């Protein structure tokens, strides 16, 4: 995809922004000849230009202003950790700041509610995992989230790979804290 670099005056930028989304992505009135006549050769700042990268066959523009009219606002807050953490070396302490017991309880309630909805709406096959649903609890949801985070760190080609018993590929940690079928069921409920 070819890209062309253009210089636009503020009036041309305003005209581009004023165009409706139904119009063409590039207006032919902004060609290279316009930029030569409006170039700033005498150092006058009255004709400020804006650089942008126009991608053909697309409505994407990468904007970068050559001069900003907005004043910078200085940060006036107090930097650093603003909450009390019992043990700053413990990652679980920081995790608990975001996943409070109240939030985990909401996740538990909504997961159980969604599972009940899915069970009532579908005619499951006799051996479907959803037929074996039992309500989840806060500890299981924490384990489920832990496995999701672990999968982001230790990446494998498939979800089932985390429960393999092959010695070369095995990650026994995951097998010990949650079964593959239960994880798959919670994952299925969360995706639907």
Residues 42 and 120 in one domain: no
Which pLDDT tens digit goes with each residue over 28-86? 444 444 444 444 444 444 445 555 554 555 555 556 555 556 677 888 888 887 888 88
Buried b (16+ CB within 10 A) or exposed e, 91-107: eeeeeeeeeeeeebeeb
Average pLDDT, the chain: 77
Q: Is residue 79 part of a domain?
A: no
| Residue 137 in domain | yes
For residues 51 and 113, state if they share a domain. no
pTM of the model: 0.56
> What is the percent of the chain where pLDDT is above 70?
68
Domain C-terminal end among 27, 48, 65: 65
Range of the domain at 128: 91-191
Band of pLDDT at residue 12, cut at 50, 70 and 90: confident
């Amino acid at each position: 995809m070819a890209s062309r670099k253009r210089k636009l005056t503020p009036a041309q930028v305003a005209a581009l922004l004023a165009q409706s989304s139904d119009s063409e992505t590039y207006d032919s009135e902004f060609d290279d000849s316009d930029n030569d006549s409006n170039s700033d050769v005498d150092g006058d700042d009255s004709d400020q230009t804006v650089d942008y990268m126009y991608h053909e066959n697309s409505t994407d523009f990468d904007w970068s202003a050559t001069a900003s009219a907005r004043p910078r606002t200085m940060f006036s807050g107090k930097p650093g950790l603003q909450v009390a953490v019992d043990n700053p070396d413990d990652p679980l302490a920081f995790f608990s700041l975001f996943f409070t017991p109240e939030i985990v309880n909401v996740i538990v309630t909504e997961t159980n509610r969604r599972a009940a909805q899915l069970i009532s709406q579908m005619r499951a096959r006799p051996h479907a995992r959803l037929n074996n649903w039992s309500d989840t609890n806060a500890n299981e949801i924490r384990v489920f989230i832990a496995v999701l985070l672990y999968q982001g760190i230790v990446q494998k080609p498939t979800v089932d790979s985390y429960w393999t018993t092959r010695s070369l590929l095995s990650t026994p940690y995951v097998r010990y804290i949650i079964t593959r079928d239960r994880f798959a069921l919670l994952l299925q409920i969360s995706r639907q």
